[in-house]
Chain A
Amino acid sequence: DAMVIQNPRYQVTQFGKPVTLSCSQTLNHNVMYWYQQKSSQAPKLLFHYYDKDFNNEADTPDNFQSRRPNTSFCFLDIRSPGLGDAAMYLCATSGRTSGGSKETQYFGPGTRLLVL
Chain B
Amino acid sequence: KNQVEQSPQSLIILEGKNCTLQCNYTVSPFSNLRWYKQDTGRGPVSLTIMTFSENTKSNGRYTATLDADTKQSSLHITASQLSDSASYICVVSAGKSTFGDGTTLTVKP
Contact = CB atoms under 8 A, between A and B. Distances in A.
Contacts of B44: 43, 90, 107
Interface of B: 31-32, 34, 36, 41-46, 49, 89, 91, 93, 96-97, 99-102, 104
B43 A103 contact: no
A106 B91 CA distance: 13
B101 A104 contact: no
Contacts of B41: 88, 110, 112
Contacts of B34: 103-105
A81 interface: no
Contacts of B36: 107
29 contacts: A6-B43, A40-B101, A40-B104, A41-B101, A42-B89, A42-B99, A42-B100, A42-B101, A43-B89, A44-B99, A45-B97, A90-B44, A101-B49, A103-B31, A103-B32, A103-B34, A103-B49, A104-B46, A104-B49, A105-B46, A107-B43, A107-B44, A107-B45, A108-B43, A109-B43, A110-B41, A110-B42, A110-B43, A112-B41
